[in-house]
Amino acid sequence: MVDVLRLAEAQLDADPKKAASEIARLVMLISARYAEGRVGALLDQGDLEAEPTAFRRFEVVRLSVVVVGAAGIVLGFPALGLPVQLAVPASVLVVGLVYRSAAFPALGALSFLYPLLIAGK
């Protein structure tokens, strides 16, 4: 049962709306069956037999692309004579390109970088 929930949670980066509705469906089903006392059958057999998607394998690739891209930018900007201050937004752009829809909510967490990037703020 935990593996099914973890698999659904892993999809949050790829398709947040679909994954959130799947997690909500699973949690509602589990809580309803637990309230009914059906502790031995909290999920349907079809949910338990769900095949893991290829998403887990590609998460390592995505993370590797982000790390290599950001490191390349940080090392490459000074070598090319570009301003070092542009390395941070370029690295954030790499993360945004790789993680697409999941990156925009995370950009709010980077608001502490605004004074470093924009002079006079």
The DSSP letter of residue 121 is -
The DSSP line for 72-114 is: HHHHHHHHHT--GGGHHHHHHHHHHHHHGGGHHHHHGGGGGGH
pTM over 0.95: no
- pLDDT tens over the chain, length 121 residues: 777 888 888 777 777 888 889 899 888 988 998 898 888 888 887 777 766 655 556 777 888 888 999 899 989 999 999 888 888 888 888 887 887 766 566 666 666 766 776 665 4
Question: What residue ranges do the domains of the chain occupy?
Answer: 2-51, 56-117
